[in-house]
């Protein structure tokens, strides 16, 4: 009888200890993984939940190496749901707070892209692309930024015409 009680106490303590070892940060990461598995462009609710989970994590753990990536992913979801101004703010947050992160470069480029293609503000698009070129002259996106500036305000037909005449 004493052994059964001792075993029950041991199991209860073990379960409690295991649950206590699962930190709030680990719970947040587990929740994000669960939401990522269920993410769907066809479910605005799922997009919103995941975006909020990314942002909650980055607020609670701003020094974690995942924070800039999660802010970036939240910005992408904002852009996908036509929350372009919010996406721009989140990209700017990455540029300001995490300038050396692997996503800072792309965040700056995407600001230009959003201004150009979603908000149709060609002046701000050119400014963002120019800033990108000055800051990241050796980026893989450098040629894309140069082409974007060169073709700002042109229709696809005008760009095609320019390309076909250039080849002749």
Query: How would residue 168 be classed by pLDDT, with cut points 50, 70 and 90?
Result: low
pLDDT exceeds 60 at position 126? yes
pLDDT exceeds 90 at position 43? no
pLDDT at residue 142, rounded to an integer: 97
Tokens of 8: 């029950």
Write out pLDDT tens, residues 69-118: 999 999 999 999 999 999 999 999 999 999 999 999 999 999 999 999 99
Q: What is the Cα–Cα distance from 9 to 47, expressed in whole angstroms?
A: 43
Write out pLDDT tens, residues 4-39: 555 554 444 444 444 445 799 999 999 999 988 887
Q: What is the Cα–Cα distance from 42 to 76, expressed in whole angstroms?
A: 15
pLDDT at residue 16, rounded to an integer: 46
Least Cα distance to 103 among 129, 82, 144, 75 occurs for 75
Cα diameter, the chain: 94
pLDDT at residue 159, rounded to an integer: 81
| Sequence-distant (≥ 6) Cβ neighbours of residue 112 within 8 angstroms | 125, 126, 127, 128, 129, 132, 145, 148
pLDDT at residue 69, rounded to an integer: 98
pLDDT at residue 119, rounded to an integer: 97
Q: Which domains does the chain have, with CATH numbers?
A: 2-166 (1.25.40.10)
Binning the chain into helix, strand and coil, the percentages to the nearest 5 are: 75, 0, 25
């Amino acid at each position: 009888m004493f052994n059964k009680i001792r075993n029950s106490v041991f199991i209860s303590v073990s379960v409690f200890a295991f649950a206590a070892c699962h930190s709030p940060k680990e719970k947040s990461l587990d929740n994000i993984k669960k939401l990522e598995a269920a993410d769907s462009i066809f479910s605005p609710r799922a997009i919103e939940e995941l975006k909020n989970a990314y942002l909650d994590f980055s607020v609670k753990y701003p020094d974690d190496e995942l924070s800039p990536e999660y802010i970036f992913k939240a910005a992408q979801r904002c852009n996908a749901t036509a929350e372009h101004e919010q996406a721009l703010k989140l990209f700017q947050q990455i540029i300001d707070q995490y300038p050396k992160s692997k996503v800072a470069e792309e965040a700056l480029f995407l600001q230009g892209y959003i201004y150009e293609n979603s908000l149709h503000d060609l002046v701000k698009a050119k400014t963002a692309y120019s800033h990108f070129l000055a800051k990241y002259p050796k980026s893989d996106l450098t040629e894309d930024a140069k082409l974007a500036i060169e073709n700002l305000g042109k229709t696809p037909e005008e760009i095609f015409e320019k390309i076909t005449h250039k080849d002749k």
